[in-house]
Chains A and B, each alone.
Chain A
Amino acid sequence: MPKDTGLVSWKDLAPGMYITEPGNSVKFKTGDWRSHRPQLDKEKCIKCGQCYLLCPEPAYEENEEGYYICNLMYCKGCGICAAICPKGAITMVLEEA
Chain B
Amino acid sequence: MGKRVAKEVSIAVADAVAQCRVDVISAYPITPQTHIVEHLAELVNNGELDAEYIPVESEHAALSACIGAAATGARTFTSTSAQGLLFMYENLFIASAFRLPIVMVIANRSISAPISIWNDHSDVMTIRDSGWIQTFAENGQEAVDLVYHAYKVAEKCLLPVAVNLDGFIVTHVVEPIEMPDQELVDKYLPPLKMKYKLDPKKPITMGAIGVPEIYTEAKKALDEALKASYKVIVQAWREFERLFGRKYQPVETYKMEDAEVGMIIMGSLAETAMNAVDEMRKKGKKVGLIRFRLWRPFPMQDFLKALGKVKALCVVDRAVSHCSTGGPVGIEVRSALYQSNKRPKVLNLIAGLSGRDVTVEDFMEMFEMTYESISKKPKFSYQIYGVKE
Pick out which of these stretches binds chain B: A10-18, A34-42, A77-85: A10-18
Given contacts A22-B203, A22-B204, contact A17 B214 (CB under 8 A): yes
Q: Is the CB of B204 within 8 A of A17?
A: no
Given contacts A19-B208, A20-B196, contact A10 B203 (CB under 8 A): no
Interface residues of B in 100-131 (CB under 8 A from A): 100
Majority-rule SS of A interface residues: loop
In the complex, what's the smallest C-beta–C-beta distance from B41 to chain A, in angstroms?
30
Contact of B213 among A5, A11, A20, A22 (CB under 8 A): A5
**B-chain residues with CB within 8 Å of residue A19 when the two chains form the complex:** 204-205, 208
Pick out which of these stretches binds chain A: B28-36, B172-180, B216-224, B261-269: B216-224
Q: Is the CB of B213 within 8 A of A15?
A: no
In the complex, what's the smallest C-beta–C-beta distance from B95 to chain A, in angstroms?
10
**B-chain residues with CB within 8 Å of residue A9 when the two chains form the complex:** 217
- How many residue pairs, one in A and one in B, have C-beta atoms under 8 Å apart? 57
| Chain A residue nearest in CB terms to B223 | A10
Contact of B216 among A6, A14, A18, A22 (CB under 8 A): A6
In the complex, what's the smallest C-beta–C-beta distance from A26 to chain B, in angstroms?
13
In the complex, what's the smallest C-beta–C-beta distance from B229 to chain A, in angstroms?
12
**A-chain residues with CB within 8 Å of residue B224 when the two chains form the complex:** 10
Interface residues of B in 206-260 (CB under 8 A from A): 206, 208, 210-211, 213-214, 216-218, 220-221, 224-225
Q: Is the CB of A7 within 8 A of B214?
A: yes
What are some 14 contacts across the A-B interface (CB < 8 A)?
A6-B214, A7-B217, A8-B217, A10-B217, A10-B221, A11-B221, A15-B158, A15-B195, A15-B225, A16-B100, A16-B158, A17-B210, A20-B196, A20-B204
